[in-house]
């Protein structure tokens, strides 16, 4: 279903170059509690039946009913994780989330001014990280948290942008420096809304000002 949805979003000559999800650690951290509860309820149900504290049929029905709750929440978490996807196409970067109600965020490759990748020690070992895209659009900053194989995703995105520039020479003639004041203003708006802290704002501002040197 998720693949069919992204296919409906693609333009006539647009194609998917790379796709990714959040790392399986994200899913595991979401469902570990439900798994523990299911195992505990199952063990208590079996113990109750073996010790004959209740009639076997009653114990089985009660245990099965109680297990439906964590099974339902675990199914919900799995669906949320599986429907949260990231795509790189030959035109843009797309982020899709939501099971029934879909939330789509995309950044055109020609609007991407800077791409940052951060990996912790464990991120390098297990293959996850964060990718931050700074664009000249109204979105300003697009952050992908705990994405799987971030190096491959970043490489695919940069290669797609380079190919787009070769296809449209006018994109290469635009000066990224001219977008810096607008991007700083956008970052300022994000700071006022509480999305960015003062420290994050100053760091990103300094990074953008460095491009003017």
Q: Are residues 15 and 62 in the same domain?
A: no
Average pLDDT, the chain: 82
Query: Does 128 lie in the same domain as 109?
Result: yes
* 100 and 166 part of one domain: yes
Distance CA 172, CA 165 (A): 6
In this predicted model, what pLDDT tens digit does every residue of 31-71 receive, in sequence order? Answer: 999 999 999 999 888 888 777 666 667 877 888 888 899 99
Residue 190 placed within a domain: no
Assigned domain for 192 exists? no
User: Residue 11: how many CB atoms within 10 A of its CB?
Assistant: 10
Other residues' Cβ atoms within 10 Å of the Cβ of residue 42: 14
- What are the pLDDT digits (tens) for 81-112? 999 999 999 989 999 999 989 999 888 888 88
Question: pLDDT higher for 13 or 56?
Answer: 13
For residue 103, give the CATH number of its domain.
Answer: 2.30.29.30
| Host domain of residue 141 | 2-22+84-174
Largest CA distance in the chain: 80
The verdict on 124 and 73 lying in the same domain is: no
Structural domains counted in the chain: 2
């Amino acid at each position: 279903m998720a693949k069919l949805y992204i296919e409906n979003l693609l333009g006539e000559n647009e194609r998917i170059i790379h796709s990714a999800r959040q790392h399986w650690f994200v899913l595991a951290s979401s469902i570990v509690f439900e798994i523990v509860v299911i195992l505990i309820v199952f063990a208590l149900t079996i113990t109750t039946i073996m010790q004959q504290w209740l009639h076997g049929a009653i114990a089985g029905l009660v245990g099965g009913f109680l297990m439906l709750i964590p099974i339902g929440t675990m199914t919900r978490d799995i669906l949320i994780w599986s429907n949260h996807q990231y795509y790189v196409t030959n035109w843009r970067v797309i982020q899709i989330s939501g099971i029934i109600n879909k939330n789509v965020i995309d950044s055109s490759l020609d609007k991407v001014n800077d791409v940052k990748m951060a990996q912790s020690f464990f991120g390098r070992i297990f293959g996850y990280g964060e990718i931050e895209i700074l664009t000249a659009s109204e979105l300003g900053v697009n952050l992908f948290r705990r994405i799987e194989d971030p190096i491959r995703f970043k490489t695919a995105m940069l290669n797609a942008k380079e190919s787009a520039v070769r296809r449209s020479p006018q994109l290469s003639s635009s000066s990224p420096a001219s977008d810096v004041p607008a991007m700083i203003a956008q970052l300022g708006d994000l700071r006022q809304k509480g999305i960015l802290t003062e420290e994050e704002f100053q760091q990103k501002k300094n990074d953008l000002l460095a491009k003017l040197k």
